[in-house]
Amino acid sequence: MSDQSHLDSKYFIDTHVFNCPFCNRNNVSYYLDRSLEFDWSNSKKCYVYFARCTSCDKKSMNLSFEEIELIHKFSSSYRFNEEVGDDIDSKFFYTVPTSFFTLDTRIPKTLRELFSEAEGCLKSNYLTGASVCARKLIYELAIIEGAEGENYDERIKSLKQKRQDVEGEYFDTLLTIQQLTSDKVHEESYDGWQSKHLKLILSTLNEILGMMYVIPTLRDEKRKAILEMKGDLVGEPKQNA
């Protein structure tokens, strides 16, 4: 079967199943129990869809500028019309909870949670909250990777040393932002980042986390699959790799 892991990074997979942001189950069925519309501006409407997970019964909120056709199931439950196709996900511009699972589940949960919180804060323009989460993410990442350092800069330098499989420019970018925004030595006197800095920090961290935790696993899985095919071909006994 071809690699379907890109589906894990979607919210809605199709009109029947989604990846639940609450119970973190992939491919679980959902239904819509409510939809609303309101005026976003004088000329633009916004449509709100509430999707309820059939596994944990929690409800997420999803905003779209497009009215998506619904079909009635029973009492107060609806589905997106099948004709909408598999591209439902791209119709939403904002969702609560945010994109926790757009980060691959191979990335440690603590880091994903902090990333998601930073992203949520940034979307609501809570810059101090977003800054704190991003810094805490670096702190936790340093602990997980056994990196050292008394402050943000030192931890990043240590991470760069430890993980030479990740392009150094990514760590340098994080250091540059820090230097641009603060020439203060002590972390306690740090002022916080602006939205443009945070966007770059989160994009950089997203890449770094992918390279640290996702790519090596994918490579390893591919290597095992190839070895297994080779084993089948030459009749080697299966190894528990």
Structure tokens belonging to residue 185: 């030595």
The yes or no reply on residue 50 touching Zn ion (CB under 5 A) is: no
58/219 with CB nearer Zn ion:
58
Distance of alpha carbon 92 from alpha carbon 80, whole angstroms: 13
The yes or no reply on residue 22 touching Zn ion (CB under 5 A) is: yes
- Where are any strands of DSSP class E within 40-100? 45-53, 59-64, 70-74, 77-80, 92-96
Q: Residue 61, Cβ neighbours under 10 Å: how many?
A: 15
The yes or no reply on residue 23 touching Zn ion (CB under 5 A) is: yes
Q: Which stretch binds Zn ion (CB under 5 A): 10-18, 55-63, 71-79, 130-138?
A: 55-63
The yes or no reply on residue 55 touching Zn ion (CB under 5 A) is: yes
Structure tokens belonging to residue 84: 């909408």
Going from the C-alpha of 166 to that of each of 143, 161, 169, 203, the distances in angstroms are 17, 10, 9, 15
Which one of 13, 20, 202, 209 is in contact with Zn ion (CB under 5 A)?
20
Which one of 13, 53, 118, 212 is in contact with Zn ion (CB under 5 A)?
53
Nearest distance in Å: CB 69, Zn ion:
25
223 forms beta bridges with: none
The yes or no reply on residue 198 touching Zn ion (CB under 5 A) is: no
54/182 with CB nearer Zn ion:
54
Sites for Zn ion among residues 91-120 (CB under 5 A): none
Q: What's at 169, amino acid-wise?
A: E
Q: Which residues bind Zn ion (CB under 5 A)?
A: 20, 22-23, 53, 55-56
